[in-house]
Amino acid sequence: MPNYIDLWNNIKNSFEKDDSMSKASFGAWVDTAEPISLENHVMKIKVLSNLHRDYWTKHLTEKFVEYAYQFADQDITPEFVTEDEFEAQKSNQAQSGSKEPEFSTEDTQLNGRYTFDTFVIGSGNQMAHAAAMAVSDEPGVLYNPLFFYGGVGLGKTHLMHAIGHQLLENDPKTRVKYVTSEAFTNDFINSIQKNKTEEFHEKYRNVDLLLVDDVQFFADKEATQEEFFHTFEALYNAQKQIVLTSDRLPNEIPKLQERLVSRFKWGLSIDITPPNLETRIAILREKAQADNVEIPDETLEYIANRIDSNIRELEGAMARIQAYAKLQNSAITTDLAADALRSLNFGSNLSHITIPMIQDKVAKYFHVSVADIKGKKRMKSIVIPRQIAMYLSRELTDNSLPKIGTEFGGKDHTTVIHSFDKIKSELENDEELARQVGDLKSELKP
Ligand SMILES: Nc1ncnc2c1ncn2[C@@H]1O[C@H](COP(=O)(O)OP(=O)(O)OP(=O)(O)O)[C@@H](O)[C@H]1O
């Protein structure tokens, strides 16, 4: 999830630049609103009064969702709280001594929601879950490091946080640290700039459990890799548990030092694959219970059939349906769910795109044959379209890397990763390529 304050500022800017909104309107409705939190795809926003809430709901919500998607690349719905309600909630909390349960605790950075209790076990994740439980029982002994890999939104971060929570429950004195590889990198750079490398070492080496998310972002970052190597060694030698996640296996991360690759493989690497229908239904049921909303079984099944990609999308769909039901002030039924997903074109944007469709479009666009796209010819005029087609297949479909390889004439999945990485990095500098990929994307998802 993006930082909600940055996200809100971006959304606010978009409203300000929107020609259809007068300066006075902007000042009255948008500028007076304030973000409070972002959790579970819902941004809580404080507004001045009921009148403001009504105006937002009727006139600005649709745009909000659209702008939020542009910046966060995910579906986020607003929930409005008036100043009075907000103050009342605050004083209730103060009286009962309760805290918002969902916020990360400052030191560990763990998300309170990502526990074993809220994790639904099913196809695709049961091995990973079992390994996570085993590591929680005997940290630093059995599988060190534990390495989860797999596609986006499938529960890698959730599981690693669950290990953190479990260790803290077993012993509240356990020093747990969660960090994304990007945050680790930034922290390291800052520590050099501010001459505080000693402090940096302390922070990451004096822990019992280190959780590092998305280590594929260490790719190409030589100095950070060097630093992480020493962090890893210090923890490993002290038998402290390390858990890592990535979207691919260690040896598939480009330009990752060999000694890191080999260390990442010392313990256990487990992939998490997309959930089947039954698991998706179970996850939706669990979310409905957690949110305390009634949703009929047939509606849960409808949603699970509709959204068959990843769990983050499932959660997004659920959040939208709940927000839609609130706006309509009605119960959640299959019809309402269908409306909510249809009105926002949700879930239908990508799931209909298939690899053969992509191959066909790319072949036509570059005036080559589909057989060439799938074949082995090494001419530049064919290799580039082939790599673009693989890139789009990874980006626009939920097929696994091996499946994409198979659909491209039985290529190895490392070839797919290589093509994807190459096009992704060239897109940043090559305007012509960016235009071509943009054209193809808009043809594929009009
Ligand atoms: N098995 C599960 N049961 C319940 N919720 C789940 C499960 N798997 C994932 N989720 C939820 O789906 C959302 C996405 O999961 P998570 O962030 O852990 O994915 P990820 O694999 O780390 O993705 P990324 O690679 O994009 O970081 C989270 O809100 C998480 O709680």
Tell which wins on pLDDT, 108 or 379: 379
Q: Can you give the pLDDT at residue 348?
A: 46
Shortest-distance atom of ligand 1 to CA 286: 4
Q: Ligand 1 centroid to 152 CA: how many Å? A: 8
Residue 309 has pLDDT above 90, yes or no: no
Do 150 and 267 belong together in one domain?
yes
Whole-number Å distance, alpha carbon 153 to ligand 1 midpoint, is 5
Same domain? 205 vs 325: no
**Ligand 1 contact, 125 CB (< 6 A):** yes
Question: CA-based angle 176:129:178, to the nearest 5?
Answer: 20
Of 343, 376, 395, the residue that ends a domain is 343
Q: Check the annotation: does 155 bind a ligand.
A: yes
Residue 119 Cβ contacting ligand 1 at under 6 Å: yes
For ligand 1, atom 5: residue with the closest CA: 119
Q: Is the CB of 161 under 6 A from ligand 1?
A: no
pLDDT in tens, 84-127: 888 887 777 666 544 333 333 446 778 888 999 999 999 889 99
Residue 158 Cβ contacting ligand 1 at under 6 Å: yes
Specify the CATH number for the domain of residue 154.
3.40.50.300
Q: Is 108 within a domain?
A: no
CATH code for the domain in which residue 397 is found = 1.10.1750.10
| Judgement on whether residues 154 and 53 belong to the same structural domain of the protein | no
CA of 157 to the centre of ligand 1 (A): 6
Task: Report the share of the chain in percent with pLDDT over 90.
Answer: 52
Q: Does residue 16 belong to any structural domain of this protein?
A: yes
110 in a structural domain: no
Q: Tell me the C-alpha distance between 139 and 31, whole Å.
A: 49
Q: Is residue 238 part of a domain?
A: yes
For residue 2, the model assigns a pLDDT of: 60
Asked if residue 101 belongs to a domain, the reply is no
Q: Token digits for 400?
A: 């696994």
Whole-number pLDDT of residue 93: 63
Here the CATH number for the domain that contains residue 305 is 1.10.8.60
Residue 99 within a domain: no
- Identify residue 316 by its one-letter amino acid code: G
Q: How many domains does the chain have?
A: 4
Distance (Å) of CA 328 to CA 273, 301, 336, 365, 424: 36, 22, 9, 44, 42
> Is residue 446 pLDDT above 80, yes or no?
no
- Summarize the confidence of residues 282-302 as an average pLDDT: 92
In this structure, what are the phi and psi dihedrals at residue 363, rounded to the nearest 5 degrees?
-60, -45
Q: What is the mean pLDDT of the chain?
A: 87
At residue 20 the predicted structure's pLDDT band, cuts being 50, 70 and 90, is confident
- Is the peptide bond prior to 139 cis by the omega test (within 30 degrees of 0)? no
160 and 301 housed in the same domain: no
In this prediction, residue 386 carries a pLDDT of 97
CA 259 / ligand 1 centre spacing (Å): 29
Q: What is the pLDDT of residues 182-209, one digit of tens each?
A: 899 999 999 999 888 899 998 999 999 9
Whether residues 41 and 148 fall in one domain: no
Same domain, 129 and 260: yes
Per-residue confidence (pLDDT) for residue 345, from 0 to 100: 52
Strands 268-272 and 209-213: unpaired
Ligand 1 atom 25, closest CA: 152
Burial zone of 101 (CB within 10 Å; 0-12 exposed, 13-18 middle, 19+ buried): exposed
Q: Which of 120-129, 167-176, 398-407 has the lowest mean pLDDT?
A: 398-407
Task: Note the pLDDT of residue 343.
Answer: 56
Are 72 and 143 within one domain? no
- Ligand 1 atom nearest the C-alpha of 160 is 18
Q: Which residues of 147-182 are buried (b: 16+ CB within 10 A; e: fewer)?
A: bbbbbebbbbbbbbbbbbbbbbeeeeebebbbbbbe
Parallel/antiparallel/unpaired status of strands 42-47 and 209-213: unpaired
Instruction: Check if 181 has its Cβ closer than 6 Å to any atom of ligand 1.
Output: no
Cβ contacts of 300 within 8 Å, gap of 6 or more: 281, 284, 285, 288
CATH of the domain at 74: 3.30.300.180
CA of 114 to the centre of ligand 1 (A): 8
Does residue 156 have a known ligand-binding role?
Answer: yes
Contact 184, 216 (CB under 8 A): no
Please indicate, yes or no, whether residues 258 and 292 belong to a single structural domain of this protein. Answer: no
Whether 326 and 264 share a structural domain: no
Enumerate long-range contacts of 11-19, CB under 8 Å, 24 or more apart. Answer: 11/64, 11/67, 11/68, 11/71, 14/63, 14/67, 14/70, 15/60, 15/63, 15/67, 18/63
Is 115 marked within a binding site?
no
Q: Which amino acid is at 63?
A: K
Predicted confidence (pLDDT) at residue 31 exceeds the cutoff of 50: yes
Rg (CA), the chain: 24
Please give the structure tokens belonging to residue 197: 């490398």
| Residue 445 assigned to a binding site | no
Instruction: Quote the ligand 1 centre to 125 CA distance (angstroms).
Output: 11
Ligand 1 near 153 CB (within 6 A) = yes
CA of 99 to the centre of ligand 1 (A): 24
On whether residue 315 sits in a domain, the answer given is yes
Q: Are residues 240 and 125 in the same domain?
A: yes
Last residue of a domain, one of 33, 62, 94: 94
Q: Which of 51-55, 155-159, 376-380 has the lowest mean pLDDT?
A: 51-55
**Do residue 134 and residue 75 come from a single domain?**
no
The β-bridge partners of 44 are 37, 79
Question: Does 70 reside within a domain?
Answer: yes
**Structural domain boundaries, residue 236:** 116-271
Domain boundary among 60, 94, 128: 94
Residue identifier of the C-alpha nearest atom 23 of ligand 1: 153
**Residues 6 or more apart from 248 whose CB is under 8 A from it?**
149, 216, 401, 417
Using most ligand atoms within 8 A of CB, pick from 75, 157, 286, 398 the residue to mutate for ligand 1: 157
How many alpha carbons lie under 13 Å from residue 79 in its C-beta half-sphere? 19
* ipTM, two decimals: 0.98
Q: Do 125 and 74 belong together in one domain?
A: no
φ/ψ of residue 86, rounded to 5: -65, -45
Ligand 1 atom nearest to CA at 148: 21
**pLDDT tens digits, one per residue of 122-143:** 988 999 999 999 999 999 988 9
Report residue 257 as tokens: 């030092």
Closest residue CA from atom 26 of ligand 1 = 152
- Ligand 1 centre to CA of 251 (Å) is 24
